[in-house]
Amino acid sequence: MERASESDDLYNLDESDDDDDKEEDEDGGDEARPTPSAMTSPHFDGYIPEFWGVRYTEGPDRPERNNSFRFMLSSHAYYSEQSNSVFTGQSASDASLYERDYAGAYRPSLNNQVYARAPRGVPRDPFEVNQLLTTLNDRSRFTTRERIEAFLLLTELYDVSRRVLPALRDRAMECIIKPGAFEPNRGQYFNEASTTLPHPTIRRAQPLDAQGRHNTQPPPLKEVFDLDAHGLHVLLHARPGSISSVLGILIDYAFRVNR
């Protein structure tokens, strides 16, 4: 019988781990595995930062970002707690009036391409961001109202995205905050001198109604230097960080003088 030479390794004990790594890579190991296509899809909304919270409007297995944005929306937008949707322009007036008078959620007409393309108004993923950008930029296919409402909704998302840390942005926020993606400059999109951005009449609940919702009215003049009253109004209605410095001056003065 022929003896195996001393250099032969009958049990592969001398093989290095590098060979195993190569075989694992060739078979689709971790290093060679591509990123799942769903995670790179523009339809994929991805991880929802805990900071925003989630809503289950369409069922227990369909979580979505809470679009109230912790009360960071501007006073010109209307947030529907029933549908987790944000409305701007004429749609904000229509939605607030409907939900004040009826128990159900307001459902915009699908003839309005803004809500056909972004069902919650404010985009939930990069695909819906691009859909509203197309609506905004295409003057031939979309009405002035649709383009204005798309502009206002994108502006809401853009402003919220700029006011939070990068770690708190979801994929839609990251998409719209990219340089060159969107500019909240009306003159860049609307050249018509006759085009004015609407200031919707939003019908909101009275102070502490049966549902416990708060009034949007600022404190009366007799409480103009009441830090607690103004602080509560600011926190509830998303005024911190706005372009108006009046509230900041009032609160700063009250803090320095009265506290």
What DSSP line would sit under 191-230, residue for residue? --TT----------PPTT-TT-PPP-PPPPGGGTT-HHHH
Q: Quick one: 185 and 225 in the same domain? A: no
Q: Is residue 107 part of a domain?
A: yes
Q: Is residue 32 part of a domain?
A: no
Q: Quick one: 72 and 172 in the same domain? A: yes
Q: Quick one: 69 and 183 in the same domain? A: yes
Q: Is residue 2 part of a domain?
A: no
Q: Quick one: 68 and 113 in the same domain? A: yes
Q: How many degrees, rounded to 5, is the angle at CA 184 between CA 79 and CA 86? A: 10
Q: Is residue 150 part of a domain?
A: yes
Q: Is residue 228 part of a domain?
A: yes
Q: Quick one: 77 and 158 in the same domain? A: yes
Q: Is residue 131 part of a domain?
A: yes
- Tell me the backbone φ, ψ of residue 65, rounded to 5 degrees: -60, 140
Q: Quick one: 80 and 155 in the same domain? A: yes
Of 194, 186, 214, 201, which Cα lies nearest the Cα of 75? Answer: 201
Q: Quick one: 179 and 66 in the same domain? A: yes
Q: Is residue 34 part of a domain?
A: no
Q: Quick one: 251 and 136 in the same domain? A: no
Domain that holds residue 227: 221-258
Q: Quick one: 74 and 127 in the same domain? A: yes
Q: Going residue by residue through the chain (259 aa), what tens digit of pLDDT does each one get?
A: 555 455 555 555 555 555 555 554 555 444 555 554 555 555 555 689 999 999 988 777 788 999 999 889 988 899 999 999 999 999 999 999 999 889 889 999 888 999 999 999 999 999 999 999 999 999 999 999 999 999 999 999 999 999 999 999 999 999 999 999 999 888 888 876 555 666 676 665 444 444 444 555 667 777 767 766 766 666 665 445 555 566 566 666 666 665 5
Tell me how far apart the alpha carbons of residues 73 and 237 are, in angstroms, rounded to a whole number.
Answer: 8
Q: What pLDDT sits at residue 189?
A: 87
- Tell me the backbone φ, ψ of residue 79, rounded to 5 degrees: -105, 125
Please state the pTM of the whole predicted model.
0.64
Q: Give first-to-last CA distance, the chain, whole Å.
A: 100
Q: What pLDDT sits at residue 67?
A: 95
Q: Is residue 198 part of a domain?
A: no
* Tally of structural domains, the chain: 2
Q: Quick one: 237 and 150 in the same domain? A: no
**Of 189, 209, 232, which residue constitutes the final position of a domain?**
189
Q: What pLDDT sits at residue 167?
A: 92
Q: Quick one: 76 and 152 in the same domain? A: yes
Q: Quick one: 64 and 169 in the same domain? A: yes
**Cβ-proximal residues to 125 (8 Å cutoff; 6+ apart), any chain:** 42, 43, 44, 45, 46, 171, 172
**Of 174, 189, 204, which residue constitutes the final position of a domain?**
189
